Amino acid sequence: AQLDLRVVGIHERLARALEARRAELRTYENNLGFLSFKSKSGDSMLKEFERKAERLRADIAELEQKIRQIDAQ
């Protein structure tokens, strides 16, 4: 019973983290749609946004995998 509660708590924490990452990714993707840089420094900023979005996608995939592993137990 205590183990079940711990697993449920871990699952909920991962699910909250997953939703936060998804919301952050949506914000980055939305902002990327508005950005248009013509300068070298602007291009650098755009690339940084894209790197952060890619990192978020990787985090999301990892969290989804962890949740699937918990669900499979």
Report pLDDT digits (tens) over 34-60.
Answer: 776 676 777 788 888 889 999 999 999
CA angle 64, 23, 27 (to 5 degrees): 135
pTM reported for the whole predicted model: 0.82
Which residue type occupies 32? L
Q: Between 73 and 12, where is the model more confident? A: 12
